[in-house]
Amino acid sequence: MIAELADLLHPPTAWRRLRRALGSSCWEVLPLAAFVVLIGIVLQWSVAGAGPLPRGHLVRVLAAALVAAFAASRPPRTWSRLAPALWVGVLVLLVLVLVVGREVNGARRWLFLPGGVSLQPSEFLKPVLILLWARGFAERPRPRRLADLARPAAALGLGFVLVLVEPDLGTALSLLPLFLGMVWLAGAPRRVVRILLLAPLVLAPLAWPLLHGYQRERIQTWWQQDALTPEQRAAEGYHLWHAKLAVGSGGWEGMGWGRGPENRLDRLPERTNDFVFPVLAEEGGFRVAVPFLTAYLLLGLALLRRSARHRDPFVRLALAGCGLYFLVHLVVNVGVTLGVLPTTGLPLPLVSLGGSSMVAAGWVLGLAWSLAGVRAAPLSSRAFEED
Segment 276-294, tens digit of pLDDT: 999 999 999 999 999 999 9
Q: How many CA atoms lie within 13 A of 5 on its CB side?
A: 6
Sign, Cα dihedral of 66, 296, 170, 273: positive
Of 65, 85, 78, 79, the residue nearest 22 (C-alpha): 65
Residue 20's contacts (CB-CB under 8 Å, 6 or more residues apart) are: 373, 386, 387
Task: Give the separation between CA 142 and CA 318, rounded to whole angstroms.
Answer: 15
Distance from C-alpha of 180 to C-alpha of 140, rounded to nearest angstrom: 17
pLDDT value for 52? 75
Helix (H) or strand (E) holding 117: strand 117-119
Cα gap 137→175, rounded to integer Å: 17
How far is Cα 221 from Cα 197, in angstroms, rounded to an integer? 24
- Asked if 39 and 280 count as a contact pair (C-beta separation under 8 A), the reply is yes
Cβ–Cβ under 8 Å, residues 288 and 301: no
pLDDT of residue 382: 40
Q: Return the H-helix or E-strand segment holding 141.
A: none
3-class state of residue 359 by DSSP: helix
DSSP-derived pairing of the beta strands 107-113 and 102-104: antiparallel
- CA atoms within a 13 Å half-sphere pointing along the CA-CB vector of 173: 22
Reported as a single tens digit per residue, the pLDDT across 154-182 is 999 999 999 999 989 999 999 999 999 99
User: For residues 32 and 276, what is the distance between their CA atoms, to the nearest angstrom?
Assistant: 19
Closest C-alpha among 44, 10, 20, 21 to residue 273: 44
Classify residue 271 by its DSSP letter. T
pLDDT of 20: 55
231 CB neighbour count, 10 Å cutoff: 9
Bridge-partner residues for 111, per DSSP? 119
Strands 117-119 and 102-104: unpaired
DSSP-based three-state secondary structure for 107? strand
Burial class of residue 6 in the structure, from the number of CB atoms within 10 Å of its CB (0-12 exposed, 13-18 middle, 19+ buried): exposed
From CA 148, how far away is CA 183, in angstroms rounded?
11
CB atoms closer than 10 angstroms to residue 227: 7
Edge-first strand listing for the sheet containing 102-104: 102-104, 107-113, 117-119
Does the reported pTM lie above 0.95?
A: no
Q: What is the pLDDT of residue 11?
A: 52
Cα–Cα dist 310/76, whole Å: 13
The stretches in the chain having pLDDT less than 50 are: 5, 376-387
Can you say how many angstroms the Cα of residue 122 is from the centroid of all Cα atoms in its chain? 10
